[in-house]
Amino acid sequence: MANGRGRVKSRFVREGETMRNVWVAGATGLIGRELVARLLAETAAETHLFVRRAPDLQSPRLHVHVVDLMQPESWPQPPCDVAFNALGTTIRQAGSQAAFRAVDQDAVLNFARAAARAGAARFISVSAIGASPGALSFYSRVKGEVEQALADIGFAHLVLMQPSLLLGDRQEHRTGEQAATWLMRPLSPLMRGPLSAYRPVAGSDVAAAMVRLAGKPLRSPILRQRHDDIMALADTPA
């Protein structure tokens, strides 16, 4: 239900209530693949994937919805308690700044608003360290604008994952990330204090933290999670 300012009111899931239905966008990416595997292995939730192409996965609790991410009005509307966003690309991969915005901004916000209309009280989204609407970097600025727009939707709880460089096996080739990984790995142990937020982190650890945060009581309506927060949650037994 939207008000005059464009906010969508989400149903509030009471503390301790079972997470019955979850939505996932970006299920075929580095974080998304691990996220879906963990949701199926570690929770009893009905898991709804909103994807452009169906992944090679099977489970009685897995529901795959092949959709056009730019046309949310055509999507199915199963119930939703918690929604996870792992959509993301790079300007190089997308081909232009406009194409990058289409994925990292338009598709993300389409998914978030649809999830809110379906009743999602908690939205957990992969953003990036340095995200800010005032950032000089186009990438960081778009990430910051998306964070701001997500906050305006009105979820009871919004969790923003802000990793730095992501480690793991991607299905697509990202030359820049591979070079950065080679440079950052030996420096990571030296990055302490405020610099620890910029340490590389495995995509599997981000996914593990997201699943933990889905059922964790949260005091703040907006929570940002960086490297040390992510690692503390990833190391917590399921």
Strand segments, DSSP code E, in the chain are: 21-25, 46-51, 62-66, 82-85, 122-126, 157-161, 166-167, 201-202, 222-225
Angle formed by the axes of helices 108-117 and 138-153, to 10°? 10
The pLDDT assigned to 85 comes to 98
pLDDT at 181 over 80: no
- Taking residues 152-168, report their average pLDDT: 95
> What pLDDT, on a 0 to 100 scale, did the predictor assign at position 169?
74
Q: Which residue has the higher pLDDT, 181 or 212?
A: 212
Q: What is the mean pLDDT of the chain?
A: 87
Would you state the pLDDT for residue 184? 55
The conformation of residue 124, written as its DSSP 8-state character, comes to: E
Q: pLDDT at position 191, please?
A: 56
Residue whose pair of structure tokens reads 């009471």 in the numeric block: 14
For position 9, what pLDDT does the model report?
39
pTM recorded for the entire structure: 0.85
Among 79, 88, 134, 94, residue whose Cα is nearest residue 107: 88
Average pLDDT over residues 8-37: 76
More confident position, 176 or 197: 197
Question: 147: closest CA among 45, 234, 90, 222?
Answer: 222
Q: pLDDT for 55-75, tens place per residue?
A: 999 999 999 999 999 999 999
Burial class (CB in 10 A: 0-12, 13-18, 19+), 32: buried
Bigger pLDDT: 169 vs 222:
222
- Mean pLDDT across 38-49: 97
Helical residues (DSSP H) of 134-174, grouped into ranges: 138-153
For residues 110 and 3, the model is more confident at: 110
Tally of CB atoms within 10 A around 229: 16
- CB atoms inside a 10 Å sphere around CB 136: 8
Return the higher-pLDDT residue of 199 and 186: 199
The SS3 call for residue 208 is: helix
Of residues 238 and 221, which shows the higher confidence score? 221
Provide the b/e sequence for 4-17 (b: ≥16 CB within 10 Å): eeebbebeebeeee
- Per the model's pLDDT, the better-predicted residue between 174 and 47 turns out to be 47
pLDDT at 178 over 70: no
